[in-house]
Amino acid sequence: MTRVSKTIQLLVSLSVVGLFWLIYPGVMVLFASAVGLVYVAAAVGTLLGNSLAGQIAFALSLVTAILTTLGVLRFISNGFSYVSGNFEPHDGIYWPPYAILAVALGTALVVVLQIAGRRIG
């Protein structure tokens, strides 16, 4: 896996922790952040060349890609328009769906780069 994909994975893992703080209230954010910090630790381990951390980070990236893609699809099915930036009956920009979309695209990119790196290498 290239240094670029490892760096993207670290940035995505950090954004997942931030996304958890945006989504979850109260005590739930502590548990979610603990899981997110495991993802960050695995991404750092991958940058340092640890193969077990790389496998854990790949698994967490895959799960994150699936769950955030489901989140994006849920926003779309609930009437959110990514073009106008809000739900149909409302005005103004509602930005959390864009954060979830960015994480979904980032994790999908990481997964694709990791699979491609394994096939090439």
CB 18 within 8 A of CB 59: no
pTM of the model: 0.84
C-alpha to C-alpha distance for 9 and 18, rounded to whole angstroms: 14
Q: SS3 for 86?
A: strand
pLDDT (tens digit, 9 = 90+) per residue, 77-87?
988 888 878 87
* Domain assignment of residue 69, given as a range: 3-120
In this structure, what are the phi and psi dihedrals at residue 14, rounded to the nearest 5 degrees?
Answer: -65, -35
β partners of residue 80 = 87
pLDDT (tens digit, 9 = 90+) per residue, 19-61?
888 888 888 888 888 888 999 999 999 999 898 999 999 999 9
Give CA separation, 71 vs 34, 96, 98, in Å: 21, 11, 11
81-94: b (≥16 Cβ within 10 Å) or e: eeeeebeeeeeeee
Per-residue confidence (pLDDT) for residue 74, from 0 to 100: 92
Q: SS3 for 85?
A: coil
Name the domain count of the chain: 1
